[in-house]
C-alpha cells in the first residue's frame, strides 16, 4: 500500500473509483495526509495517502501469468492484471499454486479438447500457460507419488463458474485415470455422466448464469494403486428446495421440470404433461427456455446418463412421476 514516503508529486497511482472500482492517475500535489490526483480520464480527485496504491509503470500490457511476479501485489494491481488477460481471452491466472479462473460467459472449446488434455498430461505446474488441467494434474501426480489422498477446492461467488470448473476437473482426472470396466460401463463414463443427472435435478437458471448449482457438492474419485479410477462417490448438501415453490423472474426452476415438459409426445401424454406455462411452479417466471439449449435433446441425454450411472428404467419412471 502507498505511504507518504514512497508516493510523491509525479507518482503514478491507483485510487478508488465508484464506477470502475480503481482508476489510475498522477499525483499533482500533496497536502499533509491528502493528495490531489489527476485521473486518466482527465478528472481531478483528492484521496488520503493511506488509500492510494502505487502503479507499476513497467507492467506488461497483456499481464503476467503468475501474479507473484507482480511488482505490487495489491488489489488494483491484481485486478488490472486479471482484466488485461481477460481481454485477451486468457481466463486463467496463477497466484503461486492457486489458480484464478474468470467466467468467460461463452464457450471456449478449443482450450479443453483431447489435444489440450494430452498437452497438460504430466507437465509440472507453471511449465505451460495457467489452466485448470494443470491443477488437476498436479493433484493427481501428488496422490500417485505420495500414496496419499489429495483434494482440490473450487470456490467462488454465485456465477463465478464453479460448476463448469468442477466438470472440467472431473473430465481431466477421468482422462488421467484410464478405464476400468464395471458392469459393462467404464467407471470413467459413470463419473462423467453423473454431471448431467446432478445438473438436471439440482441446477437452475439464475440472473447470473443459465446453469447455476443450487446445492453444495463433494466429489470423491477413488483410484487404485496403479492410478486408475476404481470408483466414485458424490455427496450433495444444502439443496435449495424453496426454489421449487417460488421462482423469481427472469430465473427458472430446476432444469428437470422443463426437460419433462419437452419429453417425447408419448411420454407427455402418458404423464399428462404440457407447456411449462401451464404449471404454477414454472409460470411464476416468464423465462421458459434457455439460449442455445434444447430441452428435448437434454431430456434424452439425461435419461441416457441416468442409465449409464446405474439408474434403472423402472427408477427413472418413478423419478418422472415424483417430479410431476
The CA-to-CA distance between both ends of the chain, in Å, stands at 58
- Could you report the per-residue pLDDT of 248-271, keeping only the tens digit for each? 999 999 999 999 999 999 999 998
pLDDT of residue 106: 85
* Annotated binding-site residue? 163: yes
pLDDT at 119 over 60: yes
**pLDDT at 222 (0 to 100):** 92
Domains of the chain: which residue ranges? 12-54, 58-160
pLDDT for 261 equals: 96
Query: What integer is the mean pLDDT of 5-27?
Result: 93
Residue 46 has pLDDT above 50, yes or no: yes
Query: Confidence band (pLDDT; 50, 70, 90) for 144?
Result: very high
Q: What is the pLDDT of residue 5?
A: 54
The third-level CATH classification (topology) of the domain covering 12-54 is SH3 type barrels. (2.30.30)
Q: Is 156 annotated as a binding residue?
A: yes
> Is the model's pLDDT at 323 over the cut of 80?
no
Are 204 and 252 in contact, with CB atoms under 8 Å apart?
A: yes
pLDDT digits (tens, 9 = 90+) for 80-113: 999 999 999 999 999 999 999 999 988 888 999 9
Is 122 labeled as ligand-binding?
no
Task: Note the pLDDT of residue 1.
Answer: 47
What is the model's pLDDT at position 4? 52
pLDDT band at residue 322 under the 50/70/90 scheme = low
CATH architecture of 58-160: 3-Layer(aba) Sandwich (3.40)
Q: Express as a percent the part of the chain with pLDDT over 70.
A: 95
Average pLDDT over residues 147-171: 92
Find out whether 236 is annotated in a ligand binding site: no
Q: State yes or no: pLDDT of 60 exceeds 50.
A: yes
Q: How confident is the model at residue 293 (pLDDT cuts 50, 70, 90)?
A: very high
Q: If you average pLDDT over residues 56-75, what whole number do you get? A: 95
318: CB partners within 8 A, 6+ apart? none
**Does the structure show a pLDDT above 70 at 32?**
yes
Q: Averaged over 139-154, what is the pLDDT?
A: 95
Query: 255 and 203 in contact (C-beta within 8 Å)?
Result: yes
Using 50, 70 and 90 to split pLDDT, how confident is the model at 237? confident
**CA atoms of 138 and 99, how far apart (whole Å):** 12
Q: What is the pLDDT of residues 168-215, one digit of tens each?
A: 999 999 999 876 555 556 777 888 888 899 999 999 999 988 999 999
pLDDT at site 189:
82
Q: Is the dihedral of CA 169, 170, 171, 174 positive or negative?
A: positive
Instruction: Please give the mean pLDDT across all residues of the chain.
Output: 91
- Residue 237 makes CB contacts below 8 A (sequence gap 6+) with 215, 216, 217, 218
For residue 30, the model assigns a pLDDT of 94
Alpha carbons 230 and 152: distance in angstroms, whole number: 19
What local confidence, expressed as pLDDT, does residue 231 receive? 86
**Cell output for 270:** 402418458
**Residue 157 is assigned to a ligand binding site:** yes
Give me the pLDDT at residue 2, please. Answer: 46
305-318: average pLDDT: 87
- The reported pLDDT for the residue numbered 44 is 95
Burial 239-261 (b: 16+ CB within 10 A, else e): eeeebeeebeeebbbbbbbbbbb
What mean pLDDT comes out for the span 146-170? Answer: 92
Q: Is the N-terminal amide bond of 79 cis, ω within 30° of 0?
A: no
231 is in an annotated binding site: no
Amino acid at each position: 500500500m502507498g505511504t507518504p514516503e514512497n508516493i510523491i508529486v509525479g507518482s503514478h497511482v491507483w485510487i478508488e473509483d465508484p464506477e470502475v472500482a480503481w482508476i489510475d492517475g498522477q499525483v499533482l500535489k500533496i497536502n499533509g495526509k491528502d493528495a490531489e490526483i489527476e485521473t486518466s480520464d482527465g478528472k481531478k480527485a483528492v484521496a488520503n495517502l493511506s488509500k492510494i496504491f502505487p502503479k507499476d509503470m513497467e507492467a506488461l500490457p497483456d499481464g503476467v501469468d503468475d501474479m507473484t511476479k507482480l511488482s505490487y501485489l495489491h488489489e488494483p494491481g491484481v485486478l488490472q492484471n486479471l482484466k488485461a488477460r481477460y481481454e485477451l481471452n486468457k481466463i486463467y491466472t496463477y497466484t503461486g499454486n492457486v489458480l484464478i479462473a474468470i467466467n468467460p460467459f461463452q464457450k471456449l472449446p478449443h482450450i479443453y479438447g483431447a489435444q489440450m488434455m494430452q498437452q497438460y498430461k504430466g507437465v509440472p505446474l507453471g511449465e505451460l500457460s495457467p489452466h485448470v488441467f494443470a491443477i488437476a494434474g498436479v493433484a493427481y501426480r501428488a496422490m500417485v507419488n505420495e500414496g496419499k489422498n489429495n483434494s482440490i477446492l473450487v470456490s467462488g461467488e454465485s456465477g463465478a463458474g464453479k460448476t463448469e470448473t468442477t466438470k472440467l476437473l472431473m473430465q481431466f482426472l477421468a482422462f488421467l485415470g484410464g478405464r476400468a470396466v464395471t458392469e459393462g460401463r467404464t467407471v470413467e463414463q459413470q463419473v462423467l455422466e453423473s454431471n448431467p443427472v446432478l445438473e438436471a435435478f439440482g441446477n437452475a437458471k439464475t440472473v447470473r448464469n443459465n446453469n447455476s448449482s443450487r446445492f453444495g457438492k463433494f466429489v470423491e474419485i477413488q483410484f487404485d494403486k496403479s492410478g486408475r479410477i476404481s470408483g466414485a462417490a458424490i455427496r450433495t448438501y444444502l439443496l435449495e428446495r424453496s426454489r421449487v415453490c417460488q421462482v423469481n423472474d427472469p430465473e427458472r426452476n430446476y432444469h428437470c421440470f422443463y426437460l419433462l415438459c419437452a419429453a417425447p409426445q408419448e411420454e407427455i401424454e402418458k404423464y399428462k404433461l404440457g407447456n411449462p406455462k401451464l404449471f404454477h411452479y414454472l409460470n411464476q417466471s416468464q423465462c421458459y427456455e434457455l439460449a442455445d439449449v434444447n430441452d428435448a435433446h437434454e431430456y434424452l441425454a439425461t435419461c441416457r446418463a441416468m442409465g449409464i450411472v446405474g439408474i434403472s428404467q423402472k427408477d427413472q419412471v418413478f423419478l418422472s412421476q415424483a417430479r410431476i
